[in-house]
C-alpha cells in the first residue's frame, strides 16, 4: 500500500491536527482477515497511516462488542486488553518492530528478529510516542457494548532505534496491522493481511504486506 506524506515541515504537530488530517486526507485501510476458525468474532476496525519528516502517524477506529483496559505499565501485557498493533520491518526481512497499544494508550514497543527474544524499548522511548484515545487514559474493567473508540498515535522515527529511517520518502518496507483482545470475554485476532498459521500468531513477518512511502 502507498503511505502518504502529510503535515510537511511541522515538527510534532498537535495530535488533534494529526487526527483531523488523517480523517480528511487518508483513505482508511480495513482489517478484515479472520485467520483462525476457533476465533470467529470480527470487530469493525480500520487504520489510517501517514508520515512527515519527524513522525509516523497511525489512527485506528474500532467498533467492538466489549472493551477492557487494565494494563497500565509500559511494555506490559497490552494484548490482553482491547488492543491495536502495528508491526514494521524496515528492511523487508525477519527483523521487525512491534508497537502494541491498548485502548487507553498504554504502549509496548519491541524489536525482534524472528525466533529471538524481544528487546523492549526504554520508558523514555515509550514516553516519546504520543497517543490520544477517545476513551481517555484511565484503566477500567471490561465494559459491554457495542462500543466505538479511536486512537491516534505519533511515533518519532528515532523510536525505531536500530535503523536510520529519515528521510523515508521513497522507502519500501513491510508490515502488518492487527486488532486483538486475548483476555476479553470474546477473544479475537484480526489482521490486515492473511496469516497462515495453525494458531493465533502475529510475529510472522513472512505474512507482512508491502508499504511504500511516497
Answer for the pair 160, 117: CB distance below 8 angstroms, yes or no. Answer: no
| Number of structural domains found in the chain | 1
Range of the domain at 127: 2-213
CA distances from 103 to 15, 86, 196, 210 (A): 16, 14, 27, 26
DSSP H helical ranges for the chain? 15-25, 123-128
Q: What pLDDT digit, counting tens, does each position of 42-63 carry? A: 999 999 999 999 999 999 999 9
CATH of the domain at 158: 2.60.40.1190
CA distances from 124 to 142, 158, 162 (A): 29, 12, 16
Residue of 143, 161, 140, 119 lying closest to 69 (CA atoms): 140
Cell of 14: 498537535
Give residue 142's pLDDT band: very low, low, confident or very high (50, 70, 90): very high
pLDDT of residue 166: 85
Backbone angles phi, psi at 78, to 5 degrees: -65, -25
Cell of 153: 498515535
Q: Summarize the confidence of residues 4-8 as an average pLDDT.
A: 96
Give residue 167's pLDDT band: very low, low, confident or very high (50, 70, 90): confident
The pTM of this model reads: 0.96
Q: What pLDDT digit, counting tens, does each position of 80-119 carry? A: 999 999 999 999 899 999 999 999 999 999 999 988 999 9
Query: What is the C-alpha end-to-end distance of the chain, expressed in Å?
Result: 10
pLDDT of residue 203: 95
Average pLDDT along the chain:
97
Amino acid at each position: 500500500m502507498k503511505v502518504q506524506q502529510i503535515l510537511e515541515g511541522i515538527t510534532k504537530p498537535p495530535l488533534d491536527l494529526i487526527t483531523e488530517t488523517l480523517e480528511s486526507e487518508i483513505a482508511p485501510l480495513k482489517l478484515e482477515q479472520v485467520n483462525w476458525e476457533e476465533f470467529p468474532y470480527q470487530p469493525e476496525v480500520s487504520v489510517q497511516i501517514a508520515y512527515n519528516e519527524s513522525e509516523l502517524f497511525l489512527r485506528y477506529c474500532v467498533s467492538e462488542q466489549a472493551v477492557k483496559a487494565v494494563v497500565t505499565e509500559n511494555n506490559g501485557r497490552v494484548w490482553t486488553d482491547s488492543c491495536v498493533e502495528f508491526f514494521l520491518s524496515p528492511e523487508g526481512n525477519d527483523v521487525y518492530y512491534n508497537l502494541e497499544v491498548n485502548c487507553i494508550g498504554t504502549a509496548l514497543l519491541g524489536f525482534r528478529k524472528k525466533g529471538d527474544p524481544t528487546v523492549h524499548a526504554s520508558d523514555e522511548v515509550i514516553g516519546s510516542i504520543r497517543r490520544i484515545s477517545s476513551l481517555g487514559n484511565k484503566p477500567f474493567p471490561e465494559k459491554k457494548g457495542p462500543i466505538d473508540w479511536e486512537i491516534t498515535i505519533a511515533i518519532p522515527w528515532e523510536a525505531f532505534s536500530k535503523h536510520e529511517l529519515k528521510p523515508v520518502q521513497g522507502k519500501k518496507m513491510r508490515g502488518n496491522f492487527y486488532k486483538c483482545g486475548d483476555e476479553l470475554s470474546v477473544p479475537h485476532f484480526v489482521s490486515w493481511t492473511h496469516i497462515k498459521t495453525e494458531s493465533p500468531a502475529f510475529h510472522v513477518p513472512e505474512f507482512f504486506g508491502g508499504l511504500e512511502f511516497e
